[in-house]
């Protein structure tokens, strides 16, 4: 018998707060951080995906710079990264 784990628990930033969220490990939303495990099996909204891909193509460098700045200087983001690192299983 094989047990399929659909999601992992991770910590994520939501504004200035840290919340426990789920990272999907299988399906179309694999790798995505979502609020509940039931979202992992939901179908993808094509319209939203296309709109976001266009936006990403248009503002790629701006997104990259903003993300880099946030991860480097925002204390909450740094705390989240540390918490996720600590909760990783050590082999």
Checking if the pLDDT of 5 tops 70, the result is no
Domains: count for the chain? 1
- For residue 83, give every residue at least 6 positions away whose Cβ sits within 8 Å of its Cβ, in sequence order, or none: 11, 18
* Within a domain: 67: yes
In degrees, rounded to 5, the angle at the alpha carbon of residue 45 between the alpha carbons of residues 41 and 48 is: 135
Give the pLDDT band (50/70/90) at residue 19.
very high
* Within a domain: 50: yes
Where does residue 22 rank: exposed (0-12), middle (13-18), buried (19+ CB within 10 A)?
Answer: buried
Range of the domain at 26: 7-86
* Within a domain: 82: yes
* Within a domain: 1: no
pTM metric for this prediction: 0.77
Checking if the pLDDT of 6 tops 90, the result is no
For residue 1, the model assigns a pLDDT of: 60
């Amino acid at each position: 018998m094989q047990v399929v784990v659909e999601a992992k628990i991770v910590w994520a930033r939501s504004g200035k707060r840290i919340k426990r969220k789920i990272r999907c490990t299988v399906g179309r939303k694999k790798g995505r951080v979502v609020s509940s495990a039931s979202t992992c099996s939901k179908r993808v909204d094509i319209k939203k995906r296309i709109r976001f891909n266009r936006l990403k193509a248009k503002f790629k460098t701006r997104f990259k710079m903003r993300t880099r700045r946030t991860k480097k200087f925002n204390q909450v983001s740094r705390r989240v990264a540390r918490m996720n690192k600590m909760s990783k299983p050590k082999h």
